[in-house]
Amino acid sequence: MDERQQKIQAGLKYAEDTKVQLAAAHQESATLVKNAQLEANKIIEESRKTAKELSDRAQKEATDRANAFITKAQQAVELEHKKMLAEARTEIARLVVTTTERVLAKKLTDADRVGYNDAAARELANV
């Protein structure tokens, strides 16, 4: 009977030890899960930060390219405008000379033409 009592006591002690080990294992696994969640949250936050930085950088580059394109377009428009004005002044000067020839009913010499062209160009430049 003592032997049986000792076996029961040994079984109970083994069960108690196993229960303690199971509780410790449970606590350890809970700690591991918590640490894994913290690490996962940290990685997610870093990923979000990196994605935002990339997005901001891409947006800035796109804005810079758009501004450069607008600047070039404005310069091209300005150049075309100046070219158009120069062509208009030249054509108006030619028309002034032709009209002057007809009004005066005589042929002008090259020197007269140059003089009238210069005078017309100066007047047009002031407009």
- Percent of the chain whose predicted confidence (pLDDT) is above 70: 95
Mean pLDDT of 3-21: 86
* pLDDT at position 8 over 70: yes
What mean pLDDT is predicted for residues 7-31?
A: 89
Enumerate residues 6+ apart whose C-beta is below 8 A from 28: none
Q: What is the pLDDT of residues 36-57, one digit of tens each?
A: 999 999 999 999 999 999 999 9
For residue 23, with 0-12 CB atoms within 10 Å meaning exposed, 13-18 middle and 19 or more buried, which class applies? Answer: exposed
pLDDT of residue 42: 96
Q: Using the predicted structure, report yes or no on whether residue 32 has a pLDDT greater than 90.
A: yes
Q: How far apart are CA 38 and CA 109, in angstroms?
A: 95
Query: Could you give the dihedral angle defined by the CA atoms of residues 14, 19, 23 and 25, in that order, rounded to the nearest 10 degrees?
Result: 50
Distance between CA atoms of residues 58 and 20, nearest Å: 57
Higher-confidence residue: 44 or 113? Answer: 44
Whole-number pLDDT of residue 105: 59
Q: Which stretch of 35-39, 73-77, 92-96, 112-116 has the lowest confidence by average pLDDT? A: 112-116
Give a three-class secondary structure readout of 7-60: HHHHHHHHHHHHHHHHHHHHHHHHHHHHHHHHHHHHHHHHHHHHHHHHHHHHHH
Please state the length of the chain. 127
What is the reported pTM? 0.50
